[in-house]
Amino acid sequence: MDKIKANKQRADRRHGRVRAKISGTESRPRLSVFRSNKGMFLQLIDDISNQTLASAGMKELKAKVNKTESGKELGKIIAAKAKDKKIESVVFDRGAYKYHGRVKAAAEGAREGGLKF
């Protein structure tokens, strides 16, 4: 088995362990984080109806900032969108990523924006 395939399988197992413990509802959706090399995307997901309630991506940022700062700004943007939909509390889904760096910055930005989790 090649190295890339093994890394993907390990990441899938990590994400499966996280997702087994959390689930989003309409009143308390799941704040899902997807991180790539170039960007980052956040989504508020209702797992009961399989619907994305709100999303934020790197293209929504106005200023050019580094990756960690952009994570914090995205957290603030998703918190503002959640407030528009009258969502105050979420369940944080870090995926297969460590709670560190950009992922942590996004969580802190969402908290600064007023979301509770």
Per-residue model confidence (pLDDT) at position 48: 93
Q: Are 39 and 67 in contact (CB under 8 A)?
A: no
Q: Is 90 helix (H, G, I), strand (E, B) or coil?
A: coil
pTM summary value: 0.87
**Would you say residue 22 lies in a domain?**
yes
- 88-101 pLDDT per residue, tens: 999 999 999 999 99
Buried b (16+ CB within 10 A) or exposed e, 50-67: eeebbbbeeeebeeeeee
**Would you say residue 49 lies in a domain?**
yes
Per-residue model confidence (pLDDT) at position 7: 93
CA 117 from centroid of its chain's CA atoms: 12
Q: How many folded domains does the chain comprise? A: 1
Which secondary-structure segment (H or E) carries 56? strand 51-57
Rounded distance, CA 110 to CA 76, Å? 5
What is the residue range of 13's domain?
3-112
Over residues 75-93, the mean pLDDT reads 95
- 8-65 pLDDT per residue, tens: 999 999 999 988 989 888 889 999 999 999 899 999 999 999 999 999 999 999 888 8
**Would you say residue 117 lies in a domain?**
no
Per-residue model confidence (pLDDT) at position 26: 87
Per-residue model confidence (pLDDT) at position 77: 96
Q: Can you give the CATH number for the domain in which 37 is found?
A: 3.30.420.100
* CB-count burial class (<10 Å; 0-12, 13-18, 19+) for 16: exposed
Per-residue model confidence (pLDDT) at position 61: 92
Helices (H), the chain: 3-21, 67-84, 102-112
